[in-house]
Amino acid sequence: MNTVRRGAAALAAAAAVVLGTGAAGTASAAPSPSPSTGTLPSGLYGTKDPTYDGVWRQSLAFLAQRGTGYQPADRAVDWLLGQQCADGSFASYRADVSKPCDAKTMRDTNATAVAVQALHAVRRQAAAPEAIDKAVKAGSDWLRSVQNEDGGWGYGVGGASDANSTSVVVGALAATGVRPVSFASAEGRTPYDALLAFALPCSDEDGAGAFAYQPDKTGKLLANADATAAAVLAGLGKSVVATKASPEQPPTCTDLPKPTVERAALNGASYLSKALARTGHLTLPPMPGATDTAERPDIGNTADAVVALAASGAVKEAAPALAWLEKNSAAWAKEGGPAAYAQLILAARATDTDPREFGTADLVEQLNATGPAPKTPDTSAVSTSNDESGFDIWWIIGIGTLVGVGVGFLVSGRKK
């Protein structure tokens, strides 16, 4: 794994499972990281070591709960608020929040962006909406302050821009009502300028239409499915809570004389559809030095690809991969915990699939069981907009329960 949504090094637990996942998608026994911080806070979701993904998994859990009509418990919201540094940034996890952030605190653009989005989503039913407004603004201001000259972001402050981190920030901006094109660097470059620099042309023999995570040491762009799924959403101006586009359209790859980020996003969807068509899922390459050279299913990034395809209008092309996830993701989600459940809820939501009947699993119940019991679904105030309401209308319309969001994103192994 070398990217996306799970914050610093990728969900520690999810990474362990993915590396131990066989061709059938079942997890083999793997040692789970023990909490390095002693007893975990009661407001935190999940039981695994939160060092690398505490804020990430908490935020995805919030987004998924709001998407299914639940409001996170007040103590869970307070925990996330308490993780914020005075300058508005978030680290992946702060074990002792009584100590102020200092120069040694590893501030994280991915954690900051997803926390901003999650706090914005829970604001309406939060005990202290004013405090959340302040936190969201401070987080957004900090992200602007650390934007790179090329318009993008790296995982850490000052790090070279990458497609995944830039996409996570774009998603948060879009979800909080900020036009990404208005978020320009001092040099006048926007996040979309940065994303276009990672896009491969349709004429590329090995990765037509894909996005690279970053250029390699020689400056060459290499196709990366994880980065592509993230960039497709960002290029379309959408976040990890995206729903299917209408009308539906088959993905195609077309090079324009003057590239646009929207066209690049659709080209990325074309790449993903072809990658999924081979086996019904994405795969992980063999680990360096591993004796077993067989490729393994990449469950998390397959879920991300389903969301990206649905958001681009390619729901039909996403359907086989969604069906594969329903049959093969249970063990992975159980081991991965809150963020993994949220990723699957996200895939269900994007394709109008009931997350309470995801194969044989009730993803909503399983997610809620990983943390403080959320508040009862609120059906009295319904919103149709993708804003702080958390998309409650999806709980009411259609089958009465739909979906939730989260993940992932943007973490399946992001480089720190």
Distances (CA, A) of 335 to 214, 217, 331: 30, 35, 6
Residues in the chain, total: 416
DSSP three-state, residue 135: helix
Q: Which residue has the tokens 């999940």?
A: 46
Question: Residue 25 — very low, low, confident or very high, per pLDDT cuts 50/70/90?
Answer: very low
Point out the least confidently predicted range of 72-76, 316-320, 389-393: 389-393
- Give CA–CA dist 66/63, Å, rounded: 5
For residue 66 the two structure tokens come to: 């709001």
Question: Residue 377 — very low, low, confident or very high, per pLDDT cuts 50/70/90?
Answer: confident
Q: Which residue has the tokens 């939501």?
A: 349
- Per-residue burial over 369-380, b = 16 or more CB atoms within 10 Å of its CB, e = otherwise: ebbbebeebbee
Residue of higher predicted confidence among 94 and 388:
94
Question: Residue 341 — very low, low, confident or very high, per pLDDT cuts 50/70/90?
Answer: very high
CB 87 within 8 A of CB 97: no
Q: What is the mean pLDDT of the segment spanning 219-243?
A: 96
What residues does 361 pair with on adjacent strands? 358
Sequence-distant (≥ 6) Cβ neighbours of residue 335 within 8 angstroms:
13, 14, 16, 17, 27, 30, 32
- Give CA–CA dist 198/196, Å, rounded: 5
- Give CA–CA dist 301/225, Å, rounded: 8
pLDDT of 332 above 70 = yes
pTM: 0.83
pLDDT of amino acid 125: 86
Sequence-distant (≥ 6) Cβ neighbours of residue 302 within 8 angstroms:
276, 281, 282, 321, 324, 325
Sequence-distant (≥ 6) Cβ neighbours of residue 129 within 8 angstroms:
123
Point out the least confidently predicted range of 262-271, 346-355, 384-393: 384-393
SS (H, E, C) 294-322: CCEECHHHHHHHHHHHHHHCCHHHHHHHH
For residue 117 the two structure tokens come to: 């989005």
Q: What is the mean pLDDT of the segment spanning 262-285?
A: 95
pLDDT of 128 above 90 = no
pLDDT of 386 above 60 = no
Question: Residue 378 — very low, low, confident or very high, per pLDDT cuts 50/70/90?
Answer: low
How do residues 33-64 score in pLDDT, each as one tens digit? 444 446 889 999 999 999 999 999 999 999 99
CB 78 within 8 A of CB 136: no
- Give CA–CA dist 231/167, Å, rounded: 6
Residue of higher predicted confidence among 355 and 9:
355
